[in-house]
Every structure is written in structure tokens, then in C-alpha cells.
Amino acid sequence: DGGITQSPKYLFRKEGQNVTLSCEQNLNHDAMYWYRQDPGQGLRLIYYSQIVNDFQKGDIAEGYSVSREKKESFPLTVTSAQKNPTAFYLCASWSGRLGNTIYFGEGSWLTVV
Amino acid sequence: AQKVTQAQTEISVVEKEDVTLDCVYETRDTTYYLFWYKQPPSGELVFLIRRNSFDEQNEISGRYSWNFQKSTSSFNFTITASQVVDSAVYFCALSGGGGGTSYGKLTFGQGTILTVHP
């Protein structure tokens, strides 16, 4: 089935460690996005990418990094510089055609212990 | 800057009641898109509807209906005859209609937690 796969679903991180969240899509979409969700809040944009080897910062990029080496993959690294990384992270993708549906993955829960 | 406000933090209803979720938005774009997503307890966002700023025609899809009014910058969502399975968090979102990746850069409201009791 076509869709967006995020892994792992649950991840625990010790303070000071970097962790990488995976996002893979087989929808042949050009654009991919990372959002963060905190309890009781809406989603906020971390990073986005329109094409391979290109990405831009969103509203809350500090403490995060991304790469886009392949069209289908857009991993997110939560670095030790992120002060409050415990959150739910959602990856999204879009074909690039205006009006088409923006699809989301099932999300990854990151907890700092 | 874009902004989406969902004034209702939580709504609790009994099964078969009708329920309306409010959404008010702010944008300076003349072309924009509005969305509703449903987030069940499992966490994924499920797409429900998309409307562009030039299409004010209201829509009914089964038990769901949407009321888009540009004059009041509102995009409200109604569930008729609610069911327990409708229990979820519902998000209203706004995106620009410009080129590039602006369309996918969604501005979300804070979400409305809907609980439908049997």
C-alpha cells in the first residue's frame, strides 16, 4: 500500500544524545515536512523539503537537523541542543500539485529520560 | 502571519447528538486552502476535507458537513448523529495557495477534543 512510514513509533532518549526519526514515503511525492505536536497544542513546522538535497527551516528548527538524499526519505535528527525534545513527531508529504491531499504518517513518540 | 483559532478545547456529547466544531482563521493571502484533519488515539492524522478560498460551496459527506464563510473567516465542521467512533481530536488547518512548498506548510489550530459517550 502507498503511504508514509515513520519509525520507530516510540523512542526513549537520554539527555545529551542525538536521535534520528525515520520517514519514508512511497507516494512519489516531491515535498516532505516534519511537524512537532505538544500536548494540547496544534502541530508546528520544523523543517520541509521540496526536492532532493534541498530543505528549509520551519518555525521551530532550532535543535533539529534533516537530510534529503533520496526522494522517498526525509529523516529528522533531534540533537542534544533541543532543550525540550519530548513530543510527538509527524512526517507529511505532498505531490507538489496544488490542491492535492497532504498525507501524514502515523507519528513517532519521543521521550527524554 | 497566518493564524487558526479553534475556540473549543473540549466537547463532550452523547451519542446521536449533533456537534459543530468551530474554526476561525486569519490570513493576508488572497488564495489559500483550509483543511480539517481527525486524529484518533493512535496518533495519525486522517484527512477529512480541503477547501480553497474561491470555493465557498458548503459540502455534506455522509454524517459530516462543512460551512465555509469568507465573510466571517470561518470554516466550521458539523457531525450529525455523532457516534462513539467519532471520538478524536479534530484539527483545522490553513495553508497558502502560492507556489513552491507553501501549500504544504500548514498552520494548525490547537485542536478540539471530541468525546462521544454511548
The string of pLDDT tens digits covering residues B39-81 is 998 888 999 988 888 887 788 888 999 999 999 999 999 999 9
Identify the pLDDT of residue B61.
83
Task: Note whether B97 contacts A102, CB cutoff 8 Å.
Answer: no
Whether the per-residue pLDDT at A1 is higher than 80: the answer is no
pLDDT digits (tens, 9 = 90+) for A26-64: 999 999 999 999 987 889 999 999 999 999 999 999 999
Find the CB nearest B43 among A93, A101, A107: A107
Task: Note whether A42 contacts B91, CB cutoff 8 Å.
Answer: yes
Identify the pLDDT of residue B54.
86
Give 3-state DSSP helix, strand, coil % of chain B, rounded to 5. Answer: 10, 50, 40
Identify the pLDDT of residue A40.
79
Question: Nearest chain A Cα to B113, which residue?
Answer: A40
Task: Note whether A102 contacts B47, CB cutoff 8 Å.
Answer: yes
Task: Give the separation between CA B67 and CA B56, rounded to whole angstroms.
Answer: 8
Identify the pLDDT of residue B56.
79
Task: Give the separation between CA A79 and CA A100, rounded to whole angstroms.
Answer: 33
Identify the pLDDT of residue B99.
60
Q: Could you tell me if B51 and B67 are in contact, meaning their C-beta atoms sit under 8 angstroms apart?
A: no
Interface test with B, best of A102, A103, A104, A106 (most B CBs within 10 A): A102
Q: What is the maximum alpha-carbon separation in chain A? A: 41
